[in-house]
Structures are given as structure tokens and as C-alpha cells.
């Protein structure tokens, strides 16, 4: 591709980005949004130039790449949030290191512990979830670009360069695996499910501790409500 054609494509893409996706006409006959964007670009810069953007490309690896980019963004945000929550849990664990409370088994008092000990356990579980998601992020953050439909392309695509430009750690070696595998999505769902179980467990503990029978904590009004018939109630 000549520099002139490349510059024309860049200007067309930048214009599309500035005007937003809403201006792109959606033709159901073009199957998916991507093909409508491509048609819109060709209308803007001319078919001869616009069609060159698809040189060496395939819809198969484009979708595989988008899935990894979107999944990566979600995982990075979750991992960052977990780090902040874990830091807070450790700070509170130190603060309440001497706050003695009973621990229950099957809702019966079993042994004494401290609230700080409980929070330290939560922090450790959050660290395990974080490491699990970091491992998933590592396997996800490899680039399918250059794989074409499933067996590569004769065009001289610099796969390392395209991977670097999109922030990937590397590219997927095997072209077939690059477009066919979605294991990273299943790994993400699995990790998120385990994280949800941890959050559910913590929520259940606090729910029980707020009851009149246990009376260990009292929730502030910001996370509690009352009954329109029984104003003495403080429902989490």
C-alpha cells in the first residue's frame, strides 16, 4: 500500500471516529456492523482506496481480536478494582485486629476470632481471585491479527508490529487457533463466577450479622431500608 493510500485511509477513519458510528447507514444485507463501516469508508474515500484496508485481513480474525480487546479491558478494570478492595480490606483488618467476635459453624457459636482476622481472610481470597484473573489476562492478551480466515495470508503482515500497536504481549502462533479458540472467554467467566461466589459469601455474612439474633453490626442508612408497616426494622 502506498503512503498516499494509507494517508487517505487514516483521514477517512479519523473522520468516521469524529462523527461517530451513528452516521453509518446500516444495511442488513451486509450481515454485520463491520461491513457497514467498511462500505461507509469506501463511500468517503473511494472504493479503490477504501477496499485496500481489507488487504490481508479477514472478518474471522477481526472478530477474534475484538473479543480479546474487549475482554482485556474488562479484566484490567476488575483486577484494578480488586486491588483497591484488597488494600481496603487489609487496612481495616489491621484496624480491627483486636476486635473479638464469635465465629459460627452452621449458625452456632464455635470459636472466638477477631473481625480483623475475618477481613484478612477476605483479602487473601481476593488476592487468589486477582492472580487467577491475571493468569487469564496473560493467555487472553495475544493477538490474532495476521491469521486471516484460518490459515494465514501471503501478504507480508508484520504480526509482531500489529500486536505491539494494539498493546498485546505477543501474537498467536497458530493461525487456526487464533481464530477458532475462545477459551479465554470461558476462563474469564469461570474466574468471574468464583469472584461472585466470594462476594456472595461476604454479603451473606454481613446479612446474618445484622439480624437481631446475631446483632454484631448495624448498617448505616445508606445501605439499609425500613418497612412501611414495621419502622423498627433495619433491612440490609
Question: What pLDDT score was predicted for residue 56?
Answer: 67
CA distance 47 to 231: 70
Annotated domain spans of the chain: 1-55, 58-223
| pLDDT tens-digit readout, 182-210 | 999 999 999 999 999 999 999 999 999 99
Nearest one of 47, 35, 40 to 5, comparing CA atoms: 47
Radius of gyration of the chain (CA): 26
Mean pLDDT of the chain: 90
| pLDDT tens-digit readout, 65-102 | 999 999 999 999 999 999 999 999 999 999 999 999 99
Neighbours of 235 (CB within 10 A): 11
Question: What pLDDT score was predicted for residue 122?
Answer: 96
CA distance 146 to 171: 9
Segment among 12-16, 72-76, 227-231 with least mean pLDDT = 227-231
Catalytic sites, residue numbers: 106, 227
Angle in degrees, 0-180, between the axes of helices 115-140 and 59-95, rounded to the nearest 10: 160
- CATH for 58-223 is 1.20.200.10
Question: What pLDDT score was predicted for residue 16?
Answer: 87
Amino acid at each position: 500500500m502506498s503512503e498516499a493510500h494509507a494517508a487517505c485511509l487514516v483521514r477517512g477513519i479519523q473522520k468516521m471516529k469524529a462523527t461517530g458510528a451513528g452516521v453509518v447507514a446500516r444495511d442488513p444485507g451486509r450481515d454485520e456492523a463491520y461491513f457497514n463501516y467498511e462500505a461507509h469508508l469506501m463511500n468517503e474515500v473511494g472504493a479503490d482506496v477504501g477496499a485496500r484496508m481489507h488487504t490481508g485481513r479477514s472478518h474471522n480474525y477481526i472478530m477474534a481480536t475484538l473479543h480479546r480487546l474487549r475482554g482485556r479491558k474488562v479484566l484490567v478494570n476488575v483486577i484494578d478494582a480488586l486491588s483497591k478492595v484488597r488494600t481496603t480490606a487489609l487496612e481495616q483488618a489491621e484496624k480491627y485486629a483486636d476486635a473479638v467476635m464469635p465465629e459460627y459453624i452452621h449458625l452456632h457459636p464455635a470459636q472466638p476470632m477477631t473481625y480483623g482476622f475475618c477481613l484478612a481472610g477476605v483479602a487473601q481470597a481476593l488476592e487468589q481471585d486477582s492472580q487467577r484473573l491475571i493468569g487469564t489476562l496473560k493467555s487472553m492478551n495475544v493477538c490474532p491479527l495476521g491469521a486471516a480466515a484460518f490459515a494465514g495470508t501471503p501478504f507480508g503482515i508484520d504480526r509482531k508490529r500489529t500486536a505491539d500497536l494494539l498493546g498485546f504481549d505477543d501474537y498467536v502462533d497458530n493461525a487456526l487457533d487464533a481464530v477458532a479458540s475462545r477459551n479465554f472467554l470461558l476462563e474469564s467467566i469461570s474466574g468471574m463466577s468464583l469472584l461472585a461466589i466470594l462476594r456472595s459469601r461476604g454479603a451473606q455474612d454481613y446479612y446474618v450479622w445484622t439480624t437481631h439474633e446475631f446483632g454484631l453490626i448495624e448498617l448505616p442508612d445508606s445501605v439499609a431500608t425500613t418497612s412501611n408497616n414495621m419502622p423498627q426494622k433495619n433491612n440490609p
